[in-house]
Structure 1
Amino acid sequence: MAWKFRRRVKIIPGVHLNFSKSGISTSIGIKGASVTLGSSGAYLNTSIPGLGIYNRQQLSNGVKKPMLPPALPQNNSYPFESRGNIFSADIHEITSQDMQGIKEVILLARQQRATLHSDLLGIQNALRTTKLKKTLSYLLLYGLIKKSIPERLSNDMEAQQEAIVQTKEQIDASFVKLKAHFDPDIEEKYKSLVTAFTTLSRSSKIWDLTSSHYEDRVVTRSSAGTVVTRRKVSLGLKSISEFKSEVHGLYFQNANGADLYIYPSFIIMYSNKSDFAIIGLDEVDFQYSYVRFVETENVPVDSKVIDRTWAKVNKNGTPDRRFKGNYQIPVVRYGEIRLKTKTGLHEVYKFSNYESTEAFGRAFKDYQKLICQSTSSS
């Protein structure tokens, strides 16, 4: 019997983000059938390609989200009040309800690729076995006596090689295609955000703050009232492995949890070894500021020393003369950003370059404001 293999695969729906003055919508589907999600409701779009037949049916009514309240004047003198361990809630609890459809598409693509990879391994093993059988048929002479045996094995090898090619093509197609279309004014704001992020990512030092707690300055004789635990991380433009996208995410490495990928309308908290969450960008409380930081390590080249203190100080800031070898320590100005949501996102980052932090913070605020206005008006 000839070797045969057939695997029925699902066509992975694409995700199309549309940003306009009339509102923001997300379409999930394939050619001829898609679902559009927006604040005005959910709609089923069906069409017959080539015939010009199109139908749009409302599936549910939308609920307009209230606009975010105006931002309070930014306090650029003090750090955020983040105390204790700094980390986000369980990743299973953070996904926004509006983003559940996108998450399901990503899970479908992930599951299908895993199945196809398993199939590919099985076919490759079958091909190796068939090659071995053909070789043995000649070594043991029965292949020379009955020529139909090696001929059948050769046909099986051709079928297996073709199945390998097709399976690899199916794996390559089992990704979510993410596309975005912007109105010119929104696109300009988004490009400004990406430019500011790229500059921010070049900061000499970038840290993820994982904990923060008060320190008794009288006991420690230190000028620092807060002690933080920080770990070096990196930023960059990249996408999660499930996406084949013309739009890259703004990537924030997370030292104690899932990494952050900021896309035009949502944030994905993603880890290759665990689940992931998707959060609407309009739900994020984003703040930025500068902090005075007593730097006991080398001062980064792009940081500014704004003051000096002593390793051991009195309450009035003068050096404590009781300690021999008391030495001065630089106080530098760093940038700091915080991302929080009511569902449990809580991340704080510190940057050696405050000017870049401020530029990114303003660009993010401007873009987010435009997104929230579009969401509430649609």
Structure 2
Amino acid sequence: MGEGRFGEELFQPLNLKTMRFKRRVRLFPGVTLNFSKTGISTTVGVPGASLNFNKQGTFLNTGIPGTGIYDRKRVGEKTTPHSPASRNLSNNFLEDGNGMRGEQQPLAENLSTTTTEGLKRLQETLINCYEEKNELIQEIKIAGSSLKWSKILLVISYFLIIGFFIKWFRNNRDEKMEYLADLEKQLAGCFVNIDMQTDIEIESAYTSLLSRYTSLLTCAKIWDITSFSPNNFPGSRSAATQTVTRVEVNFDFGNLEIIKSKYEALHFENANGGDLYVYPLFMAIVDSEKNFGLLDLREIDFEYSSQKFLEEEKIPEDAEITGKSWAKANKDGSPDRRFKENYQIPVCLYGNINIKSKTGLKEAYSFSNASKARDFAKTLKIYQKLLQS
């Protein structure tokens, strides 16, 4: 009797109602970013039926495309703009020129407070997209494992079972294959399509910026400056005025995995925080846990400065050597004769770019080719000025 009940349960027809099929035509609506002198806003929807989110509030746009019939109404209460407290994204506080170190801040909290008011709706959409993507990835793992076992059972059935039951195992495998294919199709479509409205002049300026950035990528070395502090001269006897902690990083092109756009982002790797992705109208900052902030590109300061650096490591092939200094030196730069094994250190000229915003972004990078860093920063400033005009 016990064996009979087991067989009945094992070979019952598959109930398709228990399968989690998710037939979605589209997970997330298209997003359009609009900018003006008063700020940036996010529009979600299609022509004739869309919602616009900006620092003044939320507005419903309706109309019939091509007819001139158009209506715009506020939805809900007016939004009161606020300025979040300034916080540091990285573990070390970089204060230009004074060598101060700041307190460490929780990265997730910092990233959430950096977002520009007009981009908060886009941030919310991207968060939802990440959550959906993670859920689909987990479901695909489970479905893949289930399909694997269904195939094994089908093979076994050919040796042990005949007739109707073989057909059941075959149908079971096919249904699991269909389910897995459906999940994979959803995963491939799990993204936010962003359209950034720009005119011909801005397109041309952005093309120039991309050219300068491509040149910047050829620098032999790029470092993330994670901290620096004043140098204690009497103790160190070094001619360096500051002690710098730096980590070599990579710059390249690359979009966020959940963003589809005709523009590739400028990707700045960050050694101690979220990576930076520069799009034509905004910057996204994303860490390994998918916490992120979105900033209007016009609200970010990119400041260039040159720096003489005592290079004790291998000298980058494109670096300019401006002179030499003694490892142990007097205040006038002459060698300290008390140290018998004193030696000279090459002085290299590097280019630094400090990136800051009022909402708390603070990053600093150093480039082995100072002129390429200067040209990129200059072109970026011109582009930002054009966006503000």
**Normalising by structure 1, what TM-score?**
0.83
Q: Work out the CA distance in 1 between the residues paired with 2:102 and 2:235.
A: 22
What is the Cα deviation at residue 43 of structure 1?
3.0
**Which amino acid letter does the alignment assign opposite residue 353 of structure 2?**
I
Q: Work out the CA distance in 2 between the residues paired with 1:335 and 1:173.
A: 41
Change (3 A) 1:31 1:151: farther
Q: Deviations over 1:41-61 (max 9, x none)?
A: 643234689999865434477
Q: Work out the CA distance in 2 between the residues paired with 1:231 and 1:7.
A: 45
What is the Cα deviation at residue 339 of structure 1?
0.9
Partner of 1:112: 132
Partner of 1:68: none
Partner of 2:114: 94
Partner of 1:369: 385
Q: Give unmatched runs, 5+ long, in structure 1.
A: 66-78, 374-378
Change (3 A) 1:52 1:108: farther
Partner of 1:72: none
In the alignment, is residue 203 of structure 1 matched against residue 224 of structure 2? no
Q: Deviations over 1:140-161 (max 9, x none)?
A: 33xx2xx333223323332222
Partner of 1:70: none
Contact 2:33 2:42 in 1 (8 A): yes
Partner of 2:201: 185
Contact 1:19 1:25 in 2 (8 A): yes
**Which amino acid letter does the alignment assign opposite residue 354 of structure 2?**
R
- Summarize the alignment of residues 182-331 of structure 1 with structure 2, pairs less than 5 Å apart: 182-331=198-347
Contact 1:286 1:339 in 2 (8 A): yes
SS of the aligned residue for 2:197 comes to strand
What is the Cα deviation at residue 259 of structure 1?
0.9
Which of 22, 41, 56 matches 1:7? 22
Q: Work out the CA distance in 2 between the residues paired with 1:86 and 1:197.
A: 32
Partner of 1:348: 364
**Which amino acid letter does the alignment assign opposite residue 17 of structure 1?**
L
What is the Cα deviation at residue 63 of structure 1?
8.9
What is the Cα deviation at residue 14 of structure 1?
2.2
Q: Deviations over 1:7-29 (max 9, x none)?
A: 25462122223468998543223
Which of 186, 189, 193 matches 1:173? 189
287-296 or 8-17: bigger deviation: 8-17
Partner of 2:7: none
Contact 1:177 1:245 in 2 (8 A): yes
**Normalising by structure 2, what TM-score?**
0.81
Change (3 A) 1:134 1:63: closer
Change (3 A) 1:272 1:218: closer
SS of the aligned residue for 1:321 comes to coil
What is the Cα deviation at residue 342 of structure 1?
2.4
Structure of greater relative contact order (alpha carbons < 8 Å, 6+ residues apart): 1
**Which amino acid letter does the alignment assign opposite residue 83 of structure 1?**
M
Q: Work out the CA distance in 1 between the residues paired with 2:255 and 2:129.
A: 15
Contact 2:55 2:117 in 1 (8 A): no
Which of 4, 18, 26 matches 2:42? 26
223-232 or 21-30: bigger deviation: 21-30
**Which amino acid letter does the alignment assign opposite residue 44 of structure 1?**
L
SS of the aligned residue for 1:84 comes to coil
Q: Work out the CA distance in 2 between the residues paired with 1:322 and 1:133.
A: 82
131-140 or 333-342: bigger deviation: 131-140
What is the Cα deviation at residue 196 of structure 1?
1.1
Change (3 A) 1:119 1:52: farther
Q: Give unmatched runs, 5+ long, in structure 2.
A: 1-12, 83-95
What is the Cα deviation at residue 252 of structure 1?
0.8
Query: How many matched pairs?
Result: 356
SS of the aligned residue for 1:182 comes to coil
Taking only aligned residues, the RMSD between alpha carbons, in angstroms, comes to: 3.1
Which of 30, 34, 44 matches 2:60? 44
